[in-house]
Amino acid sequence: MKSKTASILFILAIIAGIHVIGIFFFMKSGKDGKSPSPQTTARTEAENSAIAKAEEEIKKKVEEKAKDVPPLPYDYSLAVNGNIPELPQGAVAKSGILVDINTRKVLWAKNAKEGVPIASMTKMMTLLIAMEDVRNEKVSLSTDVKVTKHAYKIGGSQVYLDPRETFKLEDLLKTIAIKSANDSAYLVSEFLGGGDVESFISRMNQKAEYLNMPNTKFFNAHGLPGTTSKEDNISSAEGMAILAEVLLRSPKIVEWASTPTFTFREGTDKPMLITNHNKLVNECPGVDGMKTGFINRSGFCITVTCKRADRRLIAVVTGFNTWKDRNSFVKKLIDWGYRRAPLVESGKVPPPKAAEPVKKAATSKKTSGAKSKK
């Protein structure tokens, strides 16, 4: 809370500074009431140019600082809790949330604050930390990153990095957002951690706490399962919605997350065409992100961002038995959300009744961890 207050005070201080600078030069230029000489006019123009440049720099700093401010809390007062009668497919979901970002209203919630395994949705935080370093000019998207032996050994969904290769940071981030490449995610965490992966993971957890993501804990940067369930990355549906909302402030991440296909190693003798694991970017109108995930302990999960007209929704679900069932439900959930959101906004829906007990979701026969996939 202190960090959030400090950020707001910082922005207000900068805005006040702009006004002080403007008032000072205005008073200075007009204090004697005489017509300005050519020299004075030239000096005034130079001063105005300097003021404009300073204001532009301050504006950029304010905009960049605003990207780091935690989103406002969500309002659950009119949320449908548990299963949605019109969407029986949702009974299998272990947890989920649907939020109208325009109004901060939660339209649907199911165990939304409960910590659950999030598999490759982990990579959303990896992308956020990486772009934070780019924004702070610690690195650039064109920075060269050499593949390490540790990254080479990472399994699951990957782009088969080779220790003899070097890539631009941007290309690695694209493979994380589009292909869900575990080897790229590990390499980025290793590189930005200065060779210390644990340092990067510590930053992930600090950021989760700063953003007020309920019940969130990271153990790695890719989402592969731990040796036991206690070492799986976990977060809540609400936490992933918050993270997605922050990622939407980065046009580059939205661009990558909504890219259907991308040629990795283009221009080499072994180009690799990669396809977006989030098939909803092609199948559901308005979807422009964000990330899929799967290990056996999480089931098939997904965080989806969608914009139709001027309304932005974010949906998160976990615990599905197949990616097809997950995608089918989310498409229907989003359509339902766009019908319901205007009614909630106008107050035309009654407050929800006490949530009915949620039926236990059907569980997969597999219960152990598995490699992170879709």
Residue 289 bridge partners (DSSP): 305
Residue 80 bridge partners (DSSP): 108
Question: How confident is the model at residue 108, as a pLDDT?
Answer: 98
Amino acid letter, 109: A
Question: How confident is the model at residue 190, as a pLDDT?
Answer: 98
Q: Which of 95, 180, 184, 236 is catalytic?
A: 180
pLDDT one-digit tens code per residue, 264-322: 999 999 999 999 999 999 999 999 999 999 999 999 999 999 999 999 999 999 999 99
Provide the 3-class DSSP secondary structure of residue 302. Answer: strand
Most confident of 65-69, 252-256, 354-358: 252-256
Q: Which of 95, 120, 189, 258 is catalytic?
A: 120
pLDDT one-digit tens code per residue, 136-191: 999 999 999 999 999 999 989 999 999 999 999 999 999 999 999 999 999 999 99
Q: Which pLDDT band, with edges at 50, 70 and 90, does 113 fall under?
A: very high
Options 3.40.190.10, 3.30.300.180, 3.40.710.10, 3.30.565.10; CATH for 80-346 is 3.40.710.10
**Rounded distance between C-alpha atoms, residue 47 and residue 41, angstroms:** 10
Return the beta strands (E) in 101-195 as ranges.
105-110, 116-117, 144-146, 166-168
Question: How confident is the model at residue 45, as a pLDDT?
Answer: 74
pTM: 0.81
318 with 94: CB under 8 angstroms? yes
Q: Which pLDDT band, with edges at 50, 70 and 90, does 75 fall under?
A: very high
Q: Is 6 left (phi over 0), alpha (psi -120 to 50) or beta?
A: alpha
Domain locations in the chain?
A: 2-66, 80-346
**Rounded distance between C-alpha atoms, residue 124 and residue 14, angstroms:** 30
Return the beta strands (E) in the chain as ranges.
80-81, 95-100, 105-110, 116-117, 144-146, 166-168, 234-235, 261-264, 272-275, 287-295, 299-308, 311-320
341 with 105: CB under 8 angstroms? yes
pLDDT one-digit tens code per residue, 208-241: 999 999 999 999 999 999 999 999 999 999 999 9
CA 174 to chain centre: 14
- Give me the torsion for CA of 83, 292, 251, 215, rounded to 10°: 60
Question: How confident is the model at residue 364, as a pLDDT?
Answer: 40
Q: How many other C-beta atoms are found inside a 10 Å radius of the C-beta of residue 32?
A: 8
Residue written as token pair 């989003």: 334
pLDDT one-digit tens code per residue, 3-39: 555 555 555 556 555 555 555 555 555 555 556 677 6
**Rounded distance between C-alpha atoms, residue 131 and residue 143, angstroms:** 12
∠ Cα 119 190 256 (to 5°): 55
Q: What proportion of the chain, given as a percentage, has pLDDT over 70?
A: 78
Active site residue 180: yes
Question: How confident is the model at residue 50, as a pLDDT?
Answer: 73
> How distant, in Å, are the alpha carbons of 120, 190, 224, 299, 355 from that of 325?
18, 35, 22, 11, 24
Q: Which of 94, 105, 110, 123 is catalytic?
A: 123
Q: Which pLDDT band, with edges at 50, 70 and 90, does 369 fall under?
A: very low
Mean pLDDT rounded to a whole number for the chain: 87
Lowest model confidence (mean pLDDT) among 61-65, 125-129, 329-333, 369-373: 369-373
> How distant, in Å, are the alpha carbons of 141, 206, 235, 296, 317 from that of 232?
30, 17, 10, 11, 17
Question: How confident is the model at residue 62, as a pLDDT?
Answer: 55
Provide the 3-class DSSP secondary structure of residue 274. Answer: strand
Closest of 192, 185, 194, 239 to residue 215, by C-alpha: 239
Active site residue 123: yes
Residue 234 bridge partners (DSSP): 117, 217
Average pLDDT over residues 109-118: 98
What is the b/e burial string over 298-317, where b = at least 16 CB atoms within 10 angstroms of the residue's CB?
bbbbbbbbbbbeebbbbbbb
